[in-house]
A and B are shown apart, each in its own frame.
Chain A
């Protein structure tokens, strides 16, 4: 697996999403709760716009000076007994991690939730090498048992219901209890505790690296990242190269924005900040520590009009307000990064070829931009993507190209315009009932599949206006 999670065409994926009633209901209720929760948190602070402003300033400064801060970070990690590997590509990153594991003759790896390891297809690469990889975030573990990709970056198993989870546990792990969430979770606790205790290597992602001290900050509620970083003697952190802040003071600001925006909490149960290898006489934590810093296409975004996309702190606030995500869910986006940020980021990291539809999977309502805690102009970027797709990549859909050509011809001829406005009502008569079209022909069908279309009016606006003028007043 890589950044893409699916091979079927976009329309099919959308259809599948729309037909999945449980998923749609789950997404809409989750969106509602996340949204209200976030607003409550923001309201409690009172000056949320100042916080967003500060978040944006911090991200902008850091990304503009990324080379400097990464140098400082790597110096500090090295000074504190860690190895640092800069990986330009996904392959370089996975190969390095494979070698770490090989050198330790490790058989089992325990992971805490990390989007970048999904992006570089790490689990798959390690499993090919005969290593057992255990995801320890509850949602990720459920998906792993079922071999199912994530559909949301904060609650990855959002599309699954508890009956499905119970079945998965029963089938894969011999679970015999009910589908009560508490019982399912308690079973997972016992199962995963054994995994933590028997793992040879821990792998985590990184929410924020702190340049001044070489520290990695992880934000979780379950405590799984703490288990992975505490109990294994060999630890690998994989970070996207932009996930860094200058000092502890900026870490605090961004963590607060993240936890409020992502899970509506002031802070999550665990914010863990670890630095390098364990010190002399310490028992917990790794004695062999590796930090892998991944580019994988990110540097190509720097210096472009999309640079601010690298400011993202992966809170999913944009996903939680997106009306398109609400209807089609995460899997339809065919990227481990779904929703508005995914539609911006995926074509940048993985090219336009397989993702031309994504920038169009948006109503451009701007809710995402307004929700973003670091003020990334997401919907403006989607328009820029569309512009590039049409003008530079020449990848506009054929139907759209034809339509645009036709429209240009038609609208530049007054005779054709007048004739067609007169004919439209007649042409659609067969499908019209009570001035409404419920099941339209041809391209109208896509519209009428989800809502009714009003029948063209008996009179054109111009005709109506002329008449009104004649009768000398309001009609």
Chain B
């Protein structure tokens, strides 16, 4: 694709900096301090889950914990609590591994479900827009900030976690890391190996909110109004 006016623009920057233009060979220096590596360092997975649970309270997110066998029941309860009549999910191999497909089969009489299907084009977005609930699996979960990381791709549209009224994140226990440092390190290393990063990576921490009216916190603005995280052991 096109790049316009680059040389003139970058030459001017080099001239202002009073040196010839740098076109290659720039290396990141070794930073004198790395405080990010010390946060929650050496914590057990169990401790990280505690941190996650505490942070969920701060970000107005319901925290639940179960195992693979209990997931179906916890999901049913959450869907009921959100009065969910329509649900959208990505086309994720974990849907089957975690029993979501069975659950959808069981509830199909009462609740409309939609699994993302790129061949159906914009129909996916239209369903997401009117869906009550979007459910996704977290790819990397950040304990410190109670954040789920989603790598979007053709089977996992960005709208699933964005447009429905409520959002449920299923968090496989092994996806939990101390903080954003570990997630971005993984991404950086993959890029350094020549891999392409996903066209969109979302770091989501709870429901949408705003403090733009007299600094009052309002939960639920453009994105979901409610959020539940379910940690699965």
Contact = CB atoms under 8 A, between A and B. Distances in A.
A181 B218 contact: yes
Given A181-B214, A279-B199, A295-B12, A269 B3 contact: no
Given A54-B33, A54-B34, A284-B157, A61 B10 contact: no
B118 A193 contact: no
B191 A67 contact: no
Interface string A218-231: 00011110110111
A226 B55 contact: no
Contacts of B18: 303
Interface in A224-242: 224, 226-227, 229-231, 241
A181 to B, nearest CB: 4
Nearest to A69: B26
B74 to A, nearest CB: 23
A189 B208 CA distance: 11
B4 A86 contact: yes
B10 A67 contact: yes
B41 interface: no
B184 interface: yes
A83 B6 contact: no
Given A50-B33, A223-B223, A285-B158, A269 B6 contact: no
A449 to B, nearest CB: 29
Interface in A160-197: 161-162, 165, 181-182, 184-186, 188-189, 192-193, 196-197
A181 B204 CA distance: 24
Contact of A285 (B3, B6, B199, B204): B199
B216 A252 contact: no
A274 B200 contact: yes
A69 B22 CA distance: 9
A22 to B, nearest CB: 10
Contacts, number: 289
A74 B3 contact: yes
B153 interface: yes
A374 to B, nearest CB: 13
A276 B216 contact: no
A189 B221 contact: yes
B202 A270 contact: yes
A162 B199 CA distance: 39
Given A54-B33, A83-B2, A88 B9 contact: yes
Contacts of B185: 248-249
A249 B180 CA distance: 9
B191 A213 contact: yes
B124 interface: yes
Contacts of A246: 28
A65 B22 contact: yes
A418 interface: no
A74 B6 contact: yes
A135 B67 CA distance: 44
Contact of B23 (A71, A196, A278, A282): A71
Contacts of A184: 213
A222 to B, nearest CB: 4
A27 to B, nearest CB: 10
A230 B159 contact: yes
A272 B16 CA distance: 33
B139 interface: no
Interface string B174-201: 0000001101110110011000111111
B180 A226 contact: no
B228 interface: no
B114 to A, nearest CB: 13
Contact of B154 (A189, A196, A266, A280): A280
A29 B214 CA distance: 10
A251 B184 contact: yes
A233 to B, nearest CB: 10
Given A45-B39, A138-B213, A165-B213, A267 B205 contact: yes
A87 B200 CA distance: 26
Given A182-B218, A213-B191, A78 B32 contact: no
Contact of A189 (B31, B59, B159, B222): B222
Interface of A: 26, 29-30, 33, 45, 47, 50-51, 53-54, 57-58, 61, 64-71, 74-75, 77-78, 80-88, 92, 96, 136-139, 142, 155-158, 161-162, 165, 181-182, 184-186, 188-189, 192-193, 196-197, 212-213, 215, 221-224, 226-227, 229-231, 241, 246-253, 255-256, 263, 265-285, 293, 295, 299-300, 302-303
Given A30-B215, A241-B9, 13 more contacts: A57-B32, A67-B10, A69-B26, A71-B10, A80-B196, A212-B191, A227-B223, A231-B159, A269-B59, A269-B206, A273-B197, A278-B199, A284-B125
8 contacts: A30-B215, A81-B1, A230-B158, A267-B142, A270-B205, A272-B202, A275-B200, A284-B158
The 4 closest A-B pairs by CB, nearest first: A223-B223, A139-B212, A86-B9, A302-B16
